[in-house]
Amino acid sequence: MPDLAVIMGATGGLGTAVVDAFATRGDRVIAVARSRSEVSQLASKYPGVVTGDTADLTSRLEVDDLWERIDRVGRPRWVVNLTGGFKAGKVADSTPDDFTFMMDLNLGSAWWSCRAAARRMQSSPAPSGGGQGGGCIVNVSSRSALVAEPGAAAYAIAKAGVIKLTEVLSAELKASAVRVNAVVPAIIDTPANRASLPEKLIQKAVAPAEIAAVIAYLCSDAAQAITGVAIPTYGRY
């Protein structure tokens, strides 16, 4: 039976590339995002392979409800947490709402998904016929977590938290043969970024498919030796 992959934040520029990478290699995919119409449209491209679901991934209650629905489909072997977003702002100029929004969107969404996934993946055997090991969780951080730049304070701190979450959860799940890793992109070559960023930055952008290929590799038996790492995917920056 094909492995089951759950892709959180599946309808953005990177999300659609990740869904394509998993679907085209033969996995079953549950694509999750906030917009029902966008999820349905994405799922329709892969009939019988991709199913869609919706949730506010910053809400613990909605994430818990989502995972109860996933339970009825099966135990995932691969979980990818892509949800996030950027809002500029310096520390001195920030508001409590700015801080909470960035934390919830970038760190909270990964935290609640990892929490629910870990409970299931550590307590259940790997799917029969699904290869070696108990599976893999991949989170998405950002170069801003590693390189301090003005104007990205709350975003950078949240994404740094994603890296530490990845490291700690990896240590917690090693005994269950569940690996946890992160990818660390900078600018991704998406239509939204092309419309809003200067050309000199777009020239450094990485195509979503390139990052999706790294994520798909981490979620494979070929990457059994890799856990607890944050892999830079911004080679041209």
How confident is residue 144, by pLDDT bands cut at 50, 70 and 90? very high
pTM exceeding the 0.85 threshold for the entire prediction: yes
13-70 per-position pLDDT tens digit: 999 999 999 999 999 999 999 999 999 999 999 999 999 999 999 999 999 999 999 9
Residue 189 pLDDT > 50, yes or no? Answer: yes
The amino acid at 50:
V
How confident is residue 112, by pLDDT bands cut at 50, 70 and 90? very high
Residue 93 pLDDT > 50, yes or no? Answer: yes
How many helices and strands (H and E) does the chain possess? 9, 7
How confident is residue 124, by pLDDT bands cut at 50, 70 and 90? low
Residue ranges with strand state E in 92-145: 135-140
Give the span between the Cα atoms of 151 and 132, in whole angstroms: 44
Per cent of the chain over pLDDT 70 is: 96
pLDDT at position 133: 59
Give me the residues paired with residue 183 across strands: 140, 231
How confident is residue 129, by pLDDT bands cut at 50, 70 and 90? very low
Using CB atoms within 10 A of its CB, is residue 148 exposed (0-12), middle (13-18) or buried (19+)?
exposed
pLDDT at position 44: 97
All structural domains of the chain with their residue ranges: 4-227
The amino acid at 121:
M
Mean pLDDT of the chain: 94
DSSP assignment of 27-42 equals -EEEEEES-HHHHHHH
Give the span between the Cα atoms of 102 and 144, in whole angstroms: 13
Which of 5-19, 35-49, 127-141 is predicted least confidently? 127-141
pLDDT at position 236: 78
pLDDT at position 128: 47
Residue 131 pLDDT > 50, yes or no? Answer: no
pLDDT at position 126: 54
Homologous superfamily (CATH) of 4-227 is: NAD(P)-binding Rossmann-like Domain (3.40.50.720)
How confident is residue 212, by pLDDT bands cut at 50, 70 and 90? very high
pLDDT at position 127: 53
CA neighbor of 29 nearest in space, from 2, 9, 56, 55: 2
Average pLDDT over residues 203-219: 96
